[in-house]
Amino acid sequence: MTARGSTSKTLAALAERIRYATGTDWDQLWDRADPGDPAISSVVDAYRNLFRAEQAVTFHRESLNGLSSGRYEIDQAFVPRLQRALRALVEAVEERLRCRDELLNVLEPLEHAADQQRQAQNVAASAADLPALIAIAHGGATLRENLLSHRISVVTSSGRRIPWSAYQRLEAAGFVTRDTSHPLHAGQPVSLTPSGRTALTQARADTVIAAPAPAHRTGAFPSAVPPHRR
């Protein structure tokens, strides 16, 4: 097991979560003496502790496997040796669990912050591409590749063309999906995802809230007659 890679699926999955939370690949964080951010430093230290704990589990497991392989004579000294190896493995597993919990405790706040940042980016994307979302919501759209020019077009059921760059933003944000069971040259139906419908509803609500009140024209009658004072 090397510093950059591991045979543990758990470690690999946690390394991917660290990349998501910090925006930096684990290999780069491993090589840094000081990541510069105390929160990220805590994550790196906790992951390194878990890595060493995983190494210990692997060592004691292999030791136990060697003892139970049949190469050793079972005598009075063998059973205590086997018991010590098993006890060491149990302790290593417990230490690995403790290190994993410690890593999750310092990692989860960073993941939550990353989630909020991505949600804010998604809302901004939906506001910028609100017309495209509305157009797709009313009858869907079709994504098609021209056989001759290989240009890709996105056309709604009403005939409105959506720029390819706008569609890519919506798809990357998870707001739209296409039916890839259809070939591109025949046309792939495009529709909103549940996230897209939620973003559209939220964007419309924000637009209504942000809309300014209509200005009162000079000389126009007031909308309501003020009460008469005596």
Element (H, E) at 207: helix 194-210
Lowest mean pLDDT among 6-15, 88-97, 216-225: 216-225
CB-count exposure of residue 150 (10 Å: 0-12, 13-18, 19+)? exposed
Alpha-carbon Rg for the chain, nearest whole angstrom, is 30
Average pLDDT for 136-154? 90
CA distances from 224 to 150, 220, 221 (A): 61, 12, 8
Q: Tens digits of per-residue pLDDT, 15-53?
A: 889 888 888 877 777 776 666 788 888 998 999 999 999
Considering only CA atoms, which of 223, 226, 132 is closest in space to residue 171?
132
Statement: residue 199 has pLDDT above 90: no
Statement: residue 1 has pLDDT above 50: no
Q: In sequence order, what DSSP letters do the residues of 116-185 get, joined into one string?
A: HHHHHHHHHHHHHTHHHHHHHHTT-EEEEE-TTT--EEEEETTS-EE-HHHHHHHHHTTSEEE-TTS-TT
Q: Tens digits of per-residue pLDDT, 200-217?
A: 887 666 655 444 445 555
Average pLDDT for 118-134? 73
Say what the pLDDT of residue 124 is.
62
Say what the pLDDT of residue 109 is.
93
Statement: residue 106 has pLDDT above 60: yes
Task: Please name every residue paired with 189 in a beta bridge, in sequence order, or none if there are none.
Answer: 142
Confidence of residue 126 (pLDDT cuts 50, 70, 90): low
Pairwise CA distance, residues 40 & 29, whole Å: 9
Higher pLDDT, 142 or 213: 142
Place of tokens 């419908």: 197
- Identity of residue 43: V
Say what the pLDDT of residue 229 is.
52
* Mean pLDDT for the chain overall: 81
Q: Tens digits of per-residue pLDDT, 156-195?
A: 998 999 998 888 888 888 888 899 888 888 999 999 988 7
Say what the pLDDT of residue 217 is.
54
Statement: residue 12 has pLDDT above 60: yes
Task: Please name every residue paired with 188 in a beta bridge, in sequence order, or none if there are none.
Answer: 143
Full-model pTM: 0.52
Average pLDDT for 110-115? 88
Statement: residue 134 has pLDDT above 60: yes
CB atoms within 10 A of CB 56: 17
Max intra-chain CA distance, the chain: 113
Say what the pLDDT of residue 51 is.
93
